[in-house]
Amino acid sequence: MAGLFSQLSFGAPWVLAGLLVLPLLWWLLKVTPPQPRRIAFPPLRLLLGLKNEEQTPAHTPWWLLLLRLAAAALLISALAEPLLGRAPQVAGSGPLVLVIDNGWSAAKGWDERQGVIADLLRGAQDRPVAIVATAGNAPVSLLDAGAAVRAARELAPMPWAGDRMAAAARLARASFASPPQIFWLSDGVEDGVGRKFETALTKLGPLTIFTPRAAALGLLPPVRDGTGFQLTALRPGAKGARQTNVAAIGRNGEVLSDAPLIFKAGDARARAHIALPLEVRNQTARLEIRGEDSAGAVQLLDSGGVERRAGIVSAATSEGEQPLLSDVYYLERALAPFAEAQKGTISNLIARKVSVLFLADIGRVAGSDADKVKKFVTDGGVLVRFAGPRMTGGADELVPVPLRVGGRYLGSAMSWNAPQKLAAFPASSPFNGLVAPTEVTVTRQILAEPGAQLSERAWARLSDGTPLVTAQQMGQGWVILFHITASPAWSSLPLSGLYVDMLKRILALSAGTAAGDLAQLSSLAPISVLDGLGHSMAASAELLPIAAKDFARTEVSALHPPGLYGAQGVESALNILKAQDALLPLELGGAREYGDVHSIALEPWLLALGAGLLCLDALVALWLRGYLPALRLRSIAAAGLVLMLMPRGVHAQDTTSMQAALDTRLAYVVTGLPDVDAISRAGLTGLGYALKARTSYEPEDPIGVDVERTDLSLYPMLYWPMDPREKNLSPAAQSRIADYMRLGGTIVFDTRELTLGAVRGAGNPGDQTLRRITAGLDLPPLEPVSADHVLTKAFYILRSFPGRWDGGQLWAEALPPADKNGQSAPARGGDGVSPVIIGGNDWAAAWAVDASGRPMSDPVPGGDSQREMALRFGINLVMYALTGNYKTDQVHAPALLERLGK
């Protein structure tokens, strides 16, 4: 505690003098009595003129006084700006220089760093301050204290790496009257010049270095492996174990999946795998390390790289034996990063809804397949065909240009021409912007018949002008023909990276991107960029596009921040970290950690606490004046008592449940009305005796259940007498009863109509109670129990259902309509047991027996014979609840036996 006080300091200590006012406040509060309670009182006339024996004002209670004084003391101390913790010491008198790393790796813990900056600036008081940000390029100038605070507040981490040597050069150009005191707030990441930078700063003046305890993590580009993403994360240094999460995030910021990322002690890299089905994989917009909040911990994904389902059909059969000669092998390899490639026949691939269909060396698409392919293309599919030996014999009509029969050989013994190179792609081609490597040569190809459309349909040509790739739009889809094989047999194109790029653009075509957009992709304009904390935002108009051919080599910088570049739908991602990058820790002697020097301002906490006390005081004042009847001491005491008694109540309920679980028992709903409950209990006891005597079911003593609290699932049947005094159900009880009925329980509602009122029907109190209580329940459709209902046959054969009274209607869940064609069955039952049975004959009263087993009521009008029928109905009811529609199966037994005999 003493240690805590020694760390306490005040920003404005003179405000503490306000505490001297407290005694005055105490005196004022003491003499001002609280407002009296106001009570409206009808017999006031009798009170008037009564002598008020004690008119001295009541004192403010001591605890209220204490509360108010504490609130005032808290507010006063809050205004004195108390600080907890050691602020960094800023000694000396010269100018102050803050060198702040604000590259992407500084984003982690930026708030903490701002706190340290604020502490330093507070310590600087009136000394001039220069702020140098390593990821900025503003010239260094000396600021007074206020301007420095503003400048520091505006400082934010940038989404690119800082350049420390450039910052040192800027600092060296500035001139200081006296040697400045320098603080370097580093991000703890080595950029190769850390030592040099330190030396450069030390030359200018005394240097203090801060480093973060845990430096930033970085995420490398993901590797797609067909089932999800393989991720690798980096950290500077390898000290200690560290665990965090990586997540795949969708386009709208939703988390699609995540996986733990564990750095073992001694490892600078950690791997994780996020498994996602293809559809979800395609919705992934970015991968990020959770909780890192830095642009370097984010990997944006190309949206042109949405994975498509591509189908490959090849005519060749030698695929398995000589993979390096087969077309399928090269296509699969080239498509793997962007598409899920499937092999199969044309019809089953179309049925599997591929979006791009590759036909390698299939001359003619046969029979009904031709129609299917045509429909596939006109509906928006992309058909990509590769030439091959079979196509030299002629092709069907599903090609973009008419073809000449026979191939053209180049550079062979029979040829007069050298192997041809690729020409630059035409401006109208979707391949525009791709660079044709000079080493790609074509030795054999299929030629197109010259024609008027040939020039516009050619997407790629050889250097002598003959078309290499032709395409034609057909309906909403495209037919594209490579005039060479998909394997390196005819050219070296399948071995080059260009092949992959071309296929990628064709896949983008299938994503609905217009061919014209693809053609303009010679330069990629920024669409959205990341800020230093890794949040996406729209790109500002000042950012320059990147030439497509340079994109792969582009480094992230202030000119090209990380983000998505290209056209809508075919966006390429520019990320900070590339696959070969690594992070190193900044290892300098004498560095201090941020957490050690940061202090906590207590002002907001004290203010909040003081305001809370004042609110409490207002509540207390209301209570004292009688405006909070709910807060009477008595009810508080009662609540406390209930809380104390609660565990015992729970225990009691457990024993009830255990009793119920060990034996099948009859149960009734406790209404809380002693007379009704006693009859229910006596009734079920009497019914239990009858069941014991006549059936193989021997129930134990009945149990009363409270639907508001008890677990109902242990009882096959609940008897529920209605009484107008019963309370409505709470929502919890309603859902519990709904569950009970849905899961196969049966509730017998007894409206006791003639017991409660003179006539049956809607005006009867029992009937009204039933309607009131079941108002919130989801009852099934009901119908009167018919003469062939299984309830009439479950044990005894019954025609009516008397209880204490006779007559009335018995209702149960509506049965499915009787089978019209079949012969009439003697008993009908639905699937399972009716969840509710409703009647009004006051059965419990008829069943009820006293302790010596004598009946307790006289059934009207039938007397003892009616009691017997009532007991028979009770037995049928219990059998029905226990065995369900078993009797309806029994009536089919002769027919079943007959069938078995045959």
Kindly tell me which residue out of 17, 19, 28, 58 binds another protein, with binding defined by CB under 8 A: 58
Maximum CA extent, the chain = 135
For residues 13 to 52, the per-residue mask of contacts with another protein, x marking binding by CB under 8 A and - elsewhere, is --------------------xx-xxxxxxxxxxxxx-xxx
Query: Which H helix or E strand runs over 881?
Result: helix 864-883
Q: What tokens were used for 346?
A: 């044309």
Distance, CA of 448 to CA of 209 (rounded, Å): 71
Tokens 């150009």 locate to 173
Interface with another protein by CB under 8 A: which range of 53-61, 157-165, 235-243, 344-352?
53-61
Of 43 and 853, nearer to another protein (C-beta) is 43
Of 341 and 729, nearer to another protein (C-beta) is 729
Of 50 and 177, nearer to another protein (C-beta) is 50
CB 60 → another protein: shortest distance, Å?
Answer: 11
Distance, CA of 55 to CA of 247 (rounded, Å): 72
Q: Is the peptide bond before 861 cis (omega within 30 degrees of 0)?
A: yes
CB 726 → another protein: shortest distance, Å?
Answer: 12
CB 42 → another protein: shortest distance, Å?
Answer: 3
Of 2 and 44, nearer to another protein (C-beta) is 44
CB 130 within 8 A of CB 215: no
Q: Cβ of 619: how many Cβ atoms within 10 Å? A: 13
Tokens 């699969």 locate to 332
* Adjacency order of strands within the sheet including 563-567: 536-538, 526-530, 563-567, 570-574
**CA distances from residue 539 to 159, 563, 567 in whole angstroms, order as listed:** 13, 8, 13
Torsion angle defined by CA atoms of residues 165, 167, 172 and 176, in that order, rounded to the nearest 10 degrees: -150
Of 222 and 757, nearer to another protein (C-beta) is 757
Tokens 């793997």 locate to 336
Q: What tokens were used for 716?
A: 């096959």
Of 624 and 738, nearer to another protein (C-beta) is 624
For residues 142 to 161, the per-residue mask of contacts with another protein, x marking binding by CB under 8 A and - elsewhere, is --------------------
Q: Cβ of 882: how many Cβ atoms within 10 Å? A: 16
Report 761-780 residues binding another protein (CB under 8 A).
Answer: 765, 768
Distance, CA of 829 to CA of 831 (rounded, Å): 7
Report 713-732 residues binding another protein (CB under 8 A).
Answer: 724-725
CB 727 → another protein: shortest distance, Å?
Answer: 13
- Map residue 261 onto helix, strand or coil: strand
Task: State the number of binding residues for another protein (CB under 8 A).
Answer: 31
Q: What tokens were used for 736?
A: 């519990």
Of 36 and 612, nearer to another protein (C-beta) is 36
CB 682 → another protein: shortest distance, Å?
Answer: 21
Amino acid at 269: R
Distance, CA of 480 to CA of 386 (rounded, Å): 9
CB 751 → another protein: shortest distance, Å?
Answer: 14
CB 681 → another protein: shortest distance, Å?
Answer: 22
Of 60 and 211, nearer to another protein (C-beta) is 60
Tokens 């060749």 locate to 316
Query: Which H helix or E strand runs over 421?
Result: strand 420-421
CB 670 → another protein: shortest distance, Å?
Answer: 20
Kindly tell me which residue out of 5, 6, 31, 55 binds another protein, with binding defined by CB under 8 A: 55
**CA distances from residue 509 to 380, 381, 431, 518 in whole angstroms, order as listed:** 10, 9, 11, 8
**CA distances from residue 609 to 62, 73, 236, 623 in whole angstroms, order as listed:** 20, 11, 42, 21
Kindly tell me which residue out of 757, 829, 839, 884 binds another protein, with binding defined by CB under 8 A: 757
Of 535 and 632, nearer to another protein (C-beta) is 632
For residues 679 to 718, the per-residue mask of contacts with another protein, x marking binding by CB under 8 A and - elsewhere, is ----------------------------------------
Of 626 and 861, nearer to another protein (C-beta) is 626
Which sign, positive or negative, has the C-alpha torsion 345, 348, 352, 355? positive
DSSP per position, 547-572? EGGGGGGPPP-SSS-SEEEEETTEEE
CB 840 → another protein: shortest distance, Å?
Answer: 16
Of 352 and 632, nearer to another protein (C-beta) is 632
CB 44 → another protein: shortest distance, Å?
Answer: 4
Q: Please state at what angle helix 62-79 crosses helix 22-31, rounded to 10 degrees.
A: 150
Of 50 and 630, nearer to another protein (C-beta) is 50
CB 35 → another protein: shortest distance, Å?
Answer: 8
Report 483-502 residues binding another protein (CB under 8 A).
Answer: none
Please state the three-class secondary structure of 651-703 as a single string: HHHHHHHHHHHHCCCCEEECCCCHHHHHHHHHHHHHHHHHHHHHCCCCCCCCE
Kindly tell me which residue out of 54, 111, 154, 542 binds another protein, with binding defined by CB under 8 A: 54
CB 752 → another protein: shortest distance, Å?
Answer: 13
Kindly tell me which residue out of 11, 23, 57, 744 binds another protein, with binding defined by CB under 8 A: 57
Report 620-659 residues binding another protein (CB under 8 A).
Answer: 626
Distance, CA of 159 to CA of 567 (rounded, Å): 22
CB 274 within 8 A of CB 288: no
| Beta strand 420-421 pairing with 441-442 | antiparallel
Say whether residue 756 binds another protein (CB under 8 A): yes
Of 393 and 626, nearer to another protein (C-beta) is 626
Of 85 and 765, nearer to another protein (C-beta) is 765
CB 293 → another protein: shortest distance, Å?
Answer: 57
Q: What tokens were used for 157?
A: 């981490």
CB 52 → another protein: shortest distance, Å?
Answer: 5
Of 50 and 851, nearer to another protein (C-beta) is 50
End-to-end CA distance of the chain: 95
CB 846 → another protein: shortest distance, Å?
Answer: 21
Per CB under 8 A, residues contacting another protein are: 33-34, 36-48, 50-58, 626, 724-725, 756-757, 765, 768
